Amino acid sequence: MFTYILYALAIAGLAISFLKDRKKTKAALMKAWKSFENILPQILTIFLIIGFALAIFPPETIRKLLGAESGFLGILAAALIGSITLMPGFVAFPLAAALLKSGAGYMQLAAFVSTLMMVGVITIPIERKTFGLKATITRNASAFVFSFVVAVVMGVVLG
Amino acid sequence: MKHSENGAGNMPDQMQQNGAPKMPNPPQGQQKPFLKRYGAFFLLLAAGVVTGLVLPDLGKTALNNTLSSFKEMLSVLPPIFILLGLLDVWVDRATMIKYTGKGSGFKGVLIAFLLGSAAAGPLYAAFPFAAVMLKKGTSFMNVLIFIGAWSTTKIPMLAFETANMGPVFTLVRLALSLVGIPLIAFVTDRVIGQSGREEIYALNDAKQSK
């Protein structure tokens, strides 16, 4: 259902854009293709890894590690993994969805997704160049703490 | 000028046309040859095939898992990327920057939020953008809000999150982010203080005029 809305929006947007400016519309489509082709190798690789990881680790193992009963330790583990790994959302959300189907908990996945997007340990050297070390550390640390709030609220709402 | 994998890709070009100083490129593997970009994939695929030959059951399950997630993705991605491309071409970011300076008040916060949300691409691509905003006089608080929005409330990503995790999960995270992002910005801004802010502005001025 949601996918159809997206398609409708994209088609409507393209039509309006095309009527207004053909060149810009072509540029937009080129950009769309380029962005897609750019993440394609990452997507393919991650999907292979997910496919194998889920075949090797049965749902029971995932449930134990990141399931609803893994509690605070599971949230902490998920938050740490999210902080140090670097993957685009186009890869992260399918992974989270796959983990959810395999028995991971909403709280743990909320912590994972949240730190993944807001905390970037690997990218500290890049961030530092713009914000300096102090602001960089403060921003990442507050975002890390914030992710636990997201996890807890998610647990209350969906748990 | 390389085109990055994200919506901000064309931003530096616009900036330079407007006579702004050149800003650093995010370190991205753009023009890498095909084999280098897909190398990890083919290596894994080969390893997978070997594993599948030795342990057919495991290989079969893994193959099915991979194909099903891939099919799912291919059905959702095209409209998202088209929207992303349209956004990139039609939204002129350069003119919006000037509305987010000190004293721009709630409007500035709102604009910084929307600016970040309209973006696409990994967080590290946002920092060069943030550097230009700082250089152009956007308040530090608003730059932090922009970074927060870029990281979490990107519109195409929200659509994608909903498709994968469901509307409740997405809405809870969005609602919290609307509070959390300004809060993180506020805390960071306070911890840094006036002297720290001046240092950061100086840091970016020095970098730009190199």
CA distance B53 to B45: 12
Residue B110 lies in a domain: yes
Q: Output the 3-class SS for A99-152.
A: HHHCCCCHHHHHHHHHHHHHCCCCCHHHHHHHHHHHHHHHHHHHHHHHHHHHHH
Lowest mean pLDDT, pick from A87-101, B13-27, B143-157: B13-27
| B116 shares its domain with B181 | yes
CA A142 to chain centre: 19
Considering B58, B79, B100, which residue would you say is the last residue of a domain? B79
d(CA B102, CA B137): 7
Mutation target to probe the B interface, by most B beta carbons within 10 A, among A17, A33, A48 is A48
Render A27-48 in DSSP notation, one character per residue. HHHHHHHHHHHHHHHHHHHHHH
What's the confidence (pLDDT) of residue A1? 59
Q: Give A30-59 pLDDT, tens digit per residue.
A: 988 887 887 788 778 877 887 887 788 777
Instruction: State which H helix or E strand residue B128 sits in.
Output: helix B126-135
Residue B48 shares a structural domain with residue B128: no
Q: Which residues of A touch B3 (CB under 8 A)?
A: 31, 34
In a domain, B47, yes or no: yes
pLDDT at B28: 45
Are B40 and B108 members of one domain?
Answer: no
Rg (CA), chain A: 19
Q: Which of B50, B79, B108 is the last residue of a domain?
A: B79
Residue A80 touches chain B, beta carbons under 8 Å: no
Query: What is the token pair recorded at B50?
Result: 């070997």
Residues B112 and B195 in one domain: yes
Chain A residues near residue B80 by CB distance under 8 angstroms: 6, 10
Whether B150 and B195 map to the same domain: the answer is yes
pLDDT at B3 exceeding the cut of 80: no
For residue B41, give how far its alpha carbon lies from the nearest alpha carbon of chain A (Å).
5
- Indicate whether B96 and B171 sit together in one domain: yes
Q: Is residue B68 part of a domain?
A: yes
* Residue B151 identity: S
CA A148 from chain centre, in angstroms, equals 16
Does any CB of chain B come closer than 8 Å to the CB of residue A96? yes
Specify whether B105 is located in the same domain as B164.
yes
The reply to whether B8 falls in a domain is no
Cα B166–Cα B169–Cα B171 angle in degrees, nearest 5: 100
Lowest mean pLDDT segment, chosen from A123-137, B66-80, B92-106, B133-147: B92-106
Residues B109 and B161 in one domain: yes
User: Most B CBs within 10 Å: which of A93, A137, A140, as the mutation test of the B interface?
Assistant: A93
| Cβ <8 Å between A130 and B127 | yes
Residue among A44, A129, A130, A134 with most chain B CBs within 10 A, to mutate: A130
What is the distance in angstroms between the CA of the first residue and the CA of the last residue of chain A? 25
Contact at CB, A126 and B124, closer than 8 angstroms: yes
The encoded tokens of residue A151 equal: 């996890």
* B79 to A134: CB separation less than 8 angstroms, yes or no: no
Residues B167 and B101 placed together within one structural domain of the fold: yes
Q: Which residues of chain A have pLDDT under 70?
A: 1-2
Residue B19 lies in a domain: no
Count CB-CB contacts under 10 A for residue B91: 14
Assigned token pair, B130:
């943030």
Q: Are residues B98 and B186 in the same domain?
A: yes
**Binary contact (B65, A7; C-beta < 8 A):** no
Residue B138 belongs to some domain of the structure: yes
Residues near A1 by beta carbon (within 8 Å), at least 6 away in sequence: none
**Is residue B199 a part of any domain in this protein?**
yes
Residues B210 and B123 in one domain: yes
pTM beyond 0.95, yes or no: no
On whether residue B154 sits in a domain, the answer given is: yes
Residue B187 has its nearest CB partner, among A38, A100, A138, at A138
Rounded to 5°, the CA angle A119-A121-A124 comes to 100
DSSP A67-94: SGGGHHHHHHHHHHHHHH----HHHHHH
CB contact under 8 A, A32 and B187: no
Report the gap between the CA of A55 and the closest CA in chain B (Å): 5
The number of distinct structural domains making up chain B is: 2
Give the number of A-B residue pairs with CB atoms closer than 8 Å: 248
Q: How far apart are CA B45 and CA B23, in angstroms?
A: 39
ipTM: 0.75
> What residue numbers bound the domain in which B63 lies?
31-79
Same domain? For B184 and B116 the reply is: yes
